[in-house]
Structure 1
Amino acid sequence: MAGPATGTSRLLRVGMGAAAAGLLMIYNSVDLAPASDPGPGQAAPPAATASASPGGAASPAAAAKPAAPVLKRSKPTRLRIPQIAVDAPFTELTLNPSGELNAPPPEDKNLVGWYRDGVSPGERGAAVVAGHVDTAKGAAVFLLLSLVVPGNKVEVQRADGTVAVFVVDSVETFAKNAFPDQKVYGKTTDSQLRLITCGGVYDKKRKDYLDNVVVFAHLESSRKA
């Protein structure tokens, strides 16, 4: 893996437009494409030049058996993926005055981010969790994200004292210049999770990775913490 850039600014750029929200992280973080139709009680992210139409279908694995009951809104507090030794706290991602979504602070390599105005993990819809694959300080929380496989469990501890347990359906890599907005952010009838980081080749000239790794997962169950 190519080394990261030396810059310290880590921002998710949000372009303004008429239809949906596009969140584009620079450097070696994550590139978030538009999200569509937030559920009841969820604020819509800022609009962007790209758009995603609603109507995305649930994954095949999720459709194989009845979906777990969706949970009420509650902010996530901790993410655990035992297979790749991830055990990390969450930070809330917010917009800065320029309309850019701040990424998780690069000085903390064991930290994942959740856009606090989006779907919370366990709610109906596709909740998005972003993390660095590496930073100027070295390997970061999602370094091994591409190694998870279908059937692996992802646990999200929530502020309401519940743990939402997701099962991985697939792991895919997409070129950043051809990111499938609808596939990742399309409307869902159940509770799903998207874990996103950078991947592929590191372009030293652009100081950015060329791809995004996306883990698709669905809610299997929930329990008390």
Structure 2
Amino acid sequence: MKAAVIVFPASNCDRDAQVALKEISGTEPHMVWHAQTELPDADLIVVPGGFSYGDYLRSGAMAARSPIMAAVIERAQAGVPTLGICNGFQILTEAGLLPGALLRNAGLDFVCGTRTLRVENTDSPFTRSFSQGDFVRFPVAHHDGNYTADEDTLDRLEGEGRVAFRYVESVNGSARNIAGVLNDQGNVLGMMPHPERVISPLLGGEDGAKFFRGLIEAVS
């Protein structure tokens, strides 16, 4: 399994993604700098968390226009599984690969800690290792994770089974407690929580390891 992790200025979870992918797949992922214009051959693309470009303008707005993103968009639209975590989710919405937007958290507070999510969809490479209705515990750490979309879009996401994860309790004000959404092909997932941070009991849990094992099996 070959993976590519995109690295932006001020990314701070790119190495977490690198470690998780290497630990679980046994293969070192490609680390792709944002200024490159071509992606290596990859079965999986990861757009990691962080504060790309210092979150200037809007979170993810500048990163979505980085040179490498044209290649990411092309590969994602061609069907390559693409995962955006936290700031990566923001970048994917800004790039038009996912609907909706991520606003400032309700209450304008930075939220940080482990939260419980419910698995809503298992028909994707990202969620195949879970059963619908399973509860998982992933860390969150964000200031702009309040997912929003118009009611028609939210209804369509619900009706098409494109809500992948939902917060059990409100974390940031997200519409309908949405924590992660899929594109219409099911090969692009954006999620605010961090599965890459819980791949070992030493890190506080293994739900992230289960997430990545299923994903790696699906794309291998």
Query: Same fold per TM (> 0.5)?
Result: no
Using CA pairs under 8 Å that are at least 6 residues apart, name the structure with larger relative contact order, 1 or 2.
1
Indicate the structure with greater helix content: 2
Indicate the structure with greater strand content: 1
TM-score w.r.t. structure 1 length? 0.31
TM-score w.r.t. structure 2 length? 0.31
